[in-house]
Amino acid sequence: MEAEPVPLDLSVDLDSLDETELKMRLMQMERELEYVRSDRDRNQLYLTRILREVDQKSPLLMSNKKDYQRVLQSHEQLFLKVEASMRRCQKAEMEREVAARGRDRIERELEDKLERDLGRPVERNGGGGDGGVSKGGNVVPQDLDQVISDHLVTFQDIRELQERNRSLVQVVRQMTAELKDTKAAKDVEQRSLNSKVVQEMERQLDELKESRKRQDEMLVTVTGARHAEDQVKTLMADRASRTKQLDVASDKFMRLSGNVVRLQNHLEQQKNDALDAQNKVKDIALANQALKAEKDMAEVRYGTLRYIT
């Protein structure tokens, strides 16, 4: 790179200079002019390179601008989805609160029922009397709670009475829970038993049909004999009796078949209810996972958007 020449002093009067000084001054001015031209060329090349780079990067800038707009639109859509998910979450929370209040209400009702169960024998015995089994005389119980209360063990000590009664109620409820747990096995056993009964009824029905067929053959055989009139009457009466038995057996078979169908429908309904409950739990879990995934994606996109901006 050439050194910048020393600028000339333009305040000097040229008429006072001789020819040698004028030539030297002219050469210096030419050097200055050459330097200015070279500097202009360098600046021109630099500006040309900048313009070329701008032209090359213009599509990329436009693409980045379009990407930014797409990211902004996606962020807005994602924000709307997050709002919708938040509304669904709030709705689910409200439903959960309603269910919790219903559960609390049921628990309070059960506690009140337990207190009534524990207090009814005390009220009936007047808070005293000899220990032993509470007797209500010939009073007919009005509901199941009164039936349980009529058989609660009472003592002279009220606290011991309440503890024993509470233990009895817990045992009854535990037995109820165990009964509910074994209900499915009992239903399967009942279905198996009904199937065996149906098979037995079908076997008896086939035997009755075979017996009726044999009786018809015997009737055809004896009708040709003159002395077989009494036998024919007996066979006809027997046939009528067997026919009646066959009709009764058919009715029993139809009723039993109806019971089997109703039992199968009941078991199918219980199975569908259990599947519906499992599907609801899965839907809630999937909704929570989707909400979490959307939230994570929103945070990632929001962080990306902040990084881009």
Any residues with CB less than 8 A from the CB of 76 and at least 6 apart, and which? Answer: none
Any residues with CB less than 8 A from the CB of 127 and at least 6 apart, and which? Answer: 158
Handedness of CA 37, 42, 43, 45 (dihedral sign): positive
CA angle 232, 233, 235 (to 5 degrees): 65
What is the pLDDT, as a whole number, of residue 128?
45
What is the pLDDT, as a whole number, of residue 133?
43
What is the pLDDT, as a whole number, of residue 33?
86
Rounded distance between C-alpha atoms, residue 265 and residue 278, angstroms: 20
What is the pLDDT, as a whole number, of residue 129?
45
What is the pLDDT, as a whole number, of residue 231?
57
Kindly list the averaged pLDDT for each block of 10 residues, start to end, along the chain of length 309.
52 64 80 86 87 80 77 76 79 84 83 71 51 45 53 60 74 72 66 65 68 62 53 64 70 67 75 80 79 80 74
Rounded distance between C-alpha atoms, residue 303 and residue 294, angstroms: 14
Kindly list the domain boundaries of the chain, sorted by start residue: 14-85, 182-309
Q: How many CA atoms, within 13 angstroms, populate the side-chain half-sphere of residue 289?
A: 6
